[in-house]
C-alpha cells in the first residue's frame, strides 16, 4: 500500500519560529513551567488542542468574502441551514458562537434541580453547563472505555444495562434528555457504534426520554463506523452521519472541531416547542436567529467546512495520521492509551515515568520535557487538571489516569512535522529515568491548570 498523503496542497504558509533548547529553558522557567503560559510564537509544534485550530480551505476563505452580513434573513444563513439540515435531517437549526453556548441554551431549558442527564461521558463544558443549571451529569461509559489497554473497537459506547438501571432508579420523569458524545472526547476520542446509538434510542423511547448527540466529532465517528462496524463499509460517511443523527432528536455542535473552522457552533433539533424557547434565549444572549453569535462569513465557512469534513479522502488521512502515530509509538515501546482515537494520542504518564509519584505530576514532567527537547506543546490531563486535595486528610487524590494529550489540529501539520514529534518523544522516552517531578508554587482556587506556576523537584 502506498503512503496516504495529505489530500491538499499548501497555498498560504505561516512561518514557525525555531528556538534552541537553551532559549526554551529560559522561556519555560519564565512561564512557571506551565505550557499554557508560554506565548504561541515560542512553540514549534502546537498540539495543545484540536479545537478552533484547523486550517481553512481556499473555498472556505472564498466563503468568508461571500458572507452576507444582513441582520435578518441573510443568504449565508439559508446556505448554512440547508447544509446542516442535509447532514442531520433536523428541522430547527440555531447558530451559536461556539459549542458551549448551544449547551447553555439547551440545559438552561431542560436541566434544573432534581434532574439527571446521563451520557457516555460528558465533556467538561457540558458537565459545567448541566451543573450550572442545577442538574446532575452522569457518565455511564462501558467498562472497556476506562481501561487504557482495552482494544474494544467502540470504547465510547454507553453501558446500556447501567443506563436501564439508572433510569429505573431515578425515575424517567427526572431525566429530561440523554446525551451521547461522538466521538467520546474525555474518554480519548473513542467512537460510539451505530448499534449502541440505536440501542440507546430504543431504550430511551420506552420512557419517552429524548436523545441528543454532542456531535463535535461526528465525521470522525462516522469514519470509525464505516471501517469498524459490520455492514457499513459500502456506505458513505455522509450516509452514516445521517443515520447517526436520525437516531437522535437533536444535537449540540462545536464547529471548532469537525466543521473545520476557528469559531462557531449550533443547536439543532426537531421539537418545535423546545426550538421556540431556545430561539427566545438565543435572541437575549447570542443574537437574532439567523446569525446567532456569528457573522455571516462564519456561517459560510462552517457550511463549506461541513461539506469538506465528510470527504472520505480527508477522513482516511485524518484517522490514518493518528493510527500512524500509534504504530510508531508501539515500535518504540512508548506507553499510550489504546487504540488511538480520532483526534489525539494520549501518553500514559504513569507507565512512562513510574518513578515520579502522582502528586509530583508525571504528566507535567513529560509535557515540560517535550517542550524543552523539541518545542512541542502538549497538555497534561491528570493530577494537575483533575487532582484534588482531600479536605480531611490533606492528601492528594489522583484521577484514575495520568495522561499527556497530543491533540492534532486539522490539516495544519504535515507528515514531517509528525515524524519530528515522534523523534522528540523517542528522545524524551530514552531519558525518562532522569525526568523529575514538579510542585506548585502558585495555585488558583478553580481551574488551576491554566494559571498555575511550578518549580522542579
Ligand atoms: C469542544 C467541545 C465542546 C465545547 O465546544 P466549544 O466550542 O469549545 O464551546 C463540547 N463537547 C465536546 C465533546 C467538545 O469536544
For 17, list phi and psi in degrees, rounded to 5. Answer: -80, 125
pLDDT tier, 221 (very low <50, low <70, confident <90, very high otherwise): very high
Sign of dihedral through CA atoms 292, 294, 300, 303? negative
Beta carbons of 254 and 51 less than 8 angstroms apart: yes
Predicted confidence (pLDDT) at residue 447 exceeds the cutoff of 90:
no
pLDDT at res. 282: 97
Mutate to test the pocket of ligand 1, among 100, 184, 285, 341 (most ligand atoms within 8 A of CB): 100
Ligand 1 center to 181 CA (angstroms): 10
Ligand 1 center to 448 CA (angstroms): 19
Ligand 1 center to 345 CA (angstroms): 18
| For range 166-184, the mean pLDDT | 97
pLDDT tier, 32 (very low <50, low <70, confident <90, very high otherwise): very high
- Ligand 1 atom closest to Cα of residue 264: 7
Ligand 1 center to 125 CA (angstroms): 7
CA atoms within 13 A on the CB side of 197: 30
Mutate to test the pocket of ligand 1, among 254, 259, 261, 305 (most ligand atoms within 8 A of CB): 254
Q: Long-range pairs for 140-143 at CB < 8 Å and ≥24 separation?
A: 140/166, 141/184, 141/187
CA-nearest residue, atom 12 of ligand 1 = 123
Mutate to test the pocket of ligand 1, among 121, 214, 305 (most ligand atoms within 8 A of CB): 214
pLDDT at res. 54: 98
Predicted confidence (pLDDT) at residue 64 exceeds the cutoff of 80:
yes
Ligand 1 center to 195 CA (angstroms): 24
Mean per-residue pLDDT over the chain, rounded: 96
pLDDT at res. 186: 83
Output the ligand 1 site: residues, CB below 6 A: 51, 98-100, 123, 125-126, 181, 185, 214, 216, 254, 256-257, 265
For the CA atoms of 303, 307, 310, 314, the dihedral, rounded to the nearest 10 degrees, stands at -110
Residues 6+ apart with CB under 8 A from 41: 17
For 205, the grid coordinates are 423511547
Predicted confidence (pLDDT) at residue 446 exceeds the cutoff of 80:
no
pLDDT tier, 148 (very low <50, low <70, confident <90, very high otherwise): confident
For 138, the grid coordinates are 452522569
Ligand 1 center to 217 CA (angstroms): 9
Ligand 1 center to 434 CA (angstroms): 36
pLDDT at res. 337: 94
CA atoms within 13 A on the CB side of 237: 22
pLDDT at res. 73: 93
pLDDT at res. 387: 87
Ligand 1 center to 263 CA (angstroms): 11
| Reported CATH class of domain 21-50+318-456 | alpha beta
CA-nearest residue, atom 6 of ligand 1 = 99
- pLDDT (tens digit per residue) in 363-420: 999 999 999 999 999 999 999 988 888 889 988 899 888 999 999 999 999 999 999 9
Rounded CA-CA distance 44/376 in Å is 6
Beta carbons of 355 and 433 less than 8 angstroms apart: yes
pLDDT tier, 31 (very low <50, low <70, confident <90, very high otherwise): very high
Predicted confidence (pLDDT) at residue 445 exceeds the cutoff of 90:
no
Beta carbons of 37 and 31 less than 8 angstroms apart: yes
- pLDDT (tens digit per residue) in 271-326: 999 999 999 999 999 999 999 999 999 999 999 999 999 999 999 999 999 999 99
pLDDT at res. 455: 96
- Max CA pair span of the chain: 63
Angle formed by the axes of helices 362-374 and 21-30, to 10°? 140
Mutate to test the pocket of ligand 1, among 53, 181, 183, 185 (most ligand atoms within 8 A of CB): 185
- pLDDT (tens digit per residue) in 227-243: 999 999 999 999 999 99
H/E segment holding residue 26: helix 21-30
| For range 82-87, the mean pLDDT | 98
Ligand 1 center to 188 CA (angstroms): 14
Every domain of the chain and the residues it spans: 21-50+318-456, 58-308
- pLDDT (tens digit per residue) in 186-216: 888 999 999 999 999 999 999 999 999 999 9
Predicted confidence (pLDDT) at residue 1 exceeds the cutoff of 90:
no
CA atoms within 13 A on the CB side of 52: 10
| For range 5-21, the mean pLDDT | 97
CA-nearest residue, atom 3 of ligand 1 = 99
| Reported CATH class of domain 58-308 | alpha beta
- Ligand 1 atom closest to Cα of residue 255: 7
Beta carbons of 341 and 292 less than 8 angstroms apart: no
Give which of 264, 189, 245, 251 is closest to 220, Cα–Cα: 189
Domain 58-308 in the same topology as domain 21-50+318-456: no
Amino acid at each position: 500500500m502506498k503512503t496516504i498523503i495529505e489530500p491538499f496542497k499548501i497555498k498560504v504558509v505561516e512561518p514557525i519560529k525555531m528556538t534552541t533548547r537553551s532559549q526554551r529553558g529560559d522561556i519555560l522557567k519564565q512561564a512557571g513551567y506551565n505550557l499554557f503560559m508560554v506565548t504561541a510564537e515560542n512553540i514549534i509544534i502546537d498540539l495543545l488542542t484540536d479545537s478552533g485550530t484547523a486550517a481553512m480551505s481556499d473555498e472556505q476563505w472564498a466563503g468568508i468574502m461571500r458572507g452576507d452580513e444582513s441582520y435578518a434573513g441573510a443568504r449565508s444563513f439559508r446556505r448554512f441551514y440547508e447544509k446542516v439540515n442535509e447532514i442531520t435531517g433536523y428541522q430547527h437549526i440555531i447558530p451559536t458562537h461556539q459549542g458551549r453556548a448551544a449547551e447553555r441554551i439547551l440545559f438552561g431549558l431542560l436541566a434544573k434541580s432534581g434532574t439527571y442527564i446521563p451520557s457516555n461521558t460528558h465533556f467538561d463544558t457540558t458537565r459545567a453547563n448541566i451543573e450550572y443549571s442545577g442538574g446532575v451529569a452522569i457518565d455511564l461509559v462501558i467498562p472497556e472505555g476506562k481501561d487504557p489497554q482495552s482494544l474494544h473497537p467502540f470504547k465510547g459506547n454507553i453501558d446500556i444495562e447501567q443506563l436501564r438501571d439508572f433510569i429505573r432508579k431515578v425515575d424517567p420523569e427526572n431525566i429530561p434528555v440523554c446525551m451521547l458524545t461522538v466521538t467520546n472526547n474525555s474518554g480519548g476520542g473513542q467512537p460510539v457504534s451505530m448499534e449502541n446509538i440505536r440501542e440507546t434510542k430504543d431504550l430511551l423511547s420506552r420512557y419517552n426520554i429524548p436523545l441528543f448527540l454532542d456531535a463535535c466529532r461526528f465525521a470522525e465517528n462516522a469514519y470509525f463506523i464505516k471501517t469498524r462496524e459490520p455492514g457499513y463499509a459500502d456506505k458513505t460517511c455522509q450516509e452514516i452521519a445521517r443515520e447517526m443523527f436520525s437516531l437522535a432528536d437533536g444535537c449540540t455542535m462545536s464547529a471548532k472541531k469537525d466543521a473545520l473552522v476557528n469559531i462557531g457552533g449550533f443547536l439543532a433539533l426537531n421539537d418545535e416547542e423546545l426550538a421556540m424557547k431556545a430561539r427566545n434565549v438565543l435572541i437575549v444572549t447570542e443574537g437574532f436567529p439567523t446569525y446567532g453569535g456569528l457573522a455571516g462569513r462564519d456561517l459560510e465557512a462552517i457550511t463549506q467546512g461541513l461539506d469538506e469534513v465528510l470527504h472520505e479522502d480527508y477522513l482516511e488521512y485524518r484517522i490514518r495520521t493518528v493510527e500512524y502515530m500509534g504504530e510508531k509509538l508501539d515500535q518504540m515501546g512508548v506507553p499510550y492509551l489504546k487504540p488511538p482515537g480520532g483526534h489525539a494520542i494520549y501518553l500514559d504518564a504513569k507507565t512512562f515515568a513510574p518513578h515520579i509519584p502522582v502528586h509530583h505530576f508525571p504528566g507535567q514532567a513529560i509535557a515540560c520535557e517535550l517542550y524543552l527537547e523539541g518545542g512541542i506543546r502538549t497538555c497534561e490531563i491528570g493530577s494537575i487538571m483533575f487532582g484534588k486535595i482531600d479536605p480531611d486528610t490533606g492528601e492528594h487524590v489522583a484521577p484514575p489516569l495520568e495522561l499527556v494529550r497530543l491533540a492534532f489540529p486539522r490539516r495544519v501539520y504535515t507528515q514531517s512535522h509528525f515524524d519530528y514529534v515522534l523523534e522528540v518523544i523517542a528522545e524524551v522516552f530514552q531519558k525518562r529515568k532522569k525526568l523529575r517531578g514538579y510542585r506548585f508554587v502558585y495555585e488558583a482556587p478553580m481551574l488551576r491548570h491554566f494559571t498555575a506556576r511550578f518549580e522542579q523537584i
